Amino acid sequence: MKGRLLVKDAVLAFEEEGRLVFSKQDLLAQGFEESSLQKALWRLQREKRLISPMRNLFVIVPTVYRSVGTPPPTWYLDAWMKHRGSSFYYVSLLSAAAFHGASHHAVMETQVMLAVPVPPKIIASARFRFFVKSHVESTPYVERTVETGTVRASTPAATFFDLITYMKSIGSIGTALFELAENLAIDDLTSCLLKMKIPIADLQRAGFYLEHFSRHDLAHAVAELLKGRELHKVPLVSSRPWEEAEAHYIWKVVPNDTLEIDV
- pLDDT tops 50 at residue 123: yes
Q: What number is the average pLDDT over the span 143-159?
A: 95
Q: Is 115 helix (H, G, I), strand (E, B) or coil?
A: coil
Buried b vs exposed e over 154-176: b needs ≥16 C-beta within 10 Å? bbbbbbbbbbbbbbeebeebbbb
The residue count for the chain: 263
- pLDDT tops 80 at residue 94: yes
- pLDDT tops 60 at residue 193: yes
Map out the domains of the chain as residue ranges: 4-65, 73-254
- pLDDT tops 60 at residue 18: yes
Name the fold adopted by 4-65: Arc Repressor Mutant, subunit A (1.10.10)
Strand partners, 127: 122
